[in-house]
Amino acid sequence: MSSSNRSRVTIDVDGTRYVDDVEPRTLLVHHLREHLGKIGTVVGCDTSNCGACTVLMGSPDQPQQSVKSCSVLAVQADGASVTTVEGLAGPNGELHAVQQAFHELHALQCGFCTPGMIMSAVDLLRDNPDPTEEEVREGLSGNLCRCTGYQNIVRAVRSAAAALRAQAEVLAEVTA
């Protein structure tokens, strides 16, 4: 039940490679939190509803997309690359546009849904760089928040979308 039955997993998390032996039943969220010290990703339920544990996960042949890490086994993430909220800020600590917008538009209170909400929003904006309000609400419907009533979250995601589009335009001009 304990140490005898373990599998080796190699997972890149926020740009660092981690090699560990885990029990096959270990959930990815617990592996991240308890073995790798990535406690920024949290657990809010036990039925995969709340999305507080959302991270981005991809593989060499598949781009990263949002997953509820409470519903993924660590062994399933073997060979994957994972981005958590802790890996989102730039090398000098500058906030990602979504993080910045959450702060400026007061899109968080207790902060518990925030890591998962931000990761879902990042994923949403990669798929849809200019979402309508309805599209944002639909895109975040897998993430529960008990504090904000969602409105400032929706505003923040749309504001971040505008900022990211502006950044992309600048980048396109520079490289053109």
Rule CB under 8 A: which residues touch other proteins?
Answer: 1-2, 23, 25-26, 33-34, 38-47, 49-50, 52, 84-86, 88-89, 95, 97, 99-106, 108-115, 118, 133, 136-138, 140-154, 159, 162-163
Q: Between 60 and 93, name the residue whose CB sits nearer to other proteins.
A: 93
CB 169, min distance to other proteins, A: 15
CB 147, min distance to other proteins, A: 5
CB 60, min distance to other proteins, A: 25
Q: Between 81 and 143, name the residue whose CB sits nearer to other proteins.
A: 143
Contact (CB, 8 A) for 57 and 127: no
Cβ-based burial of 58 (10 A; exposed 0-12, middle 13-18, buried ≥19): middle
Interatomic CA distance for residues 20 and 148, integer angstroms:
38
CB 61, min distance to other proteins, A: 28
Q: Between 62 and 151, name the residue whose CB sits nearer to other proteins.
A: 151
CB 137, min distance to other proteins, A: 4
Q: Between 26 and 81, name the residue whose CB sits nearer to other proteins.
A: 26
Q: 74 vs 4, 71, 112, 117, 119, CA distance in Å?
A: 17, 10, 22, 21, 19
Interatomic CA distance for residues 52 and 47, integer angstroms:
12
Half-sphere exposure of 50 (CA within 13 A, CB side): 16
Q: How would you label 75-95 residue by residue, b for 16+ Cβ within 10 Å and e otherwise?
A: bebeebbbbbbbbbeeeeeee
Count other C-beta atoms under 10 Å from residue 127's C-beta.
11
Q: Between 126 and 137, name the residue whose CB sits nearer to other proteins.
A: 137
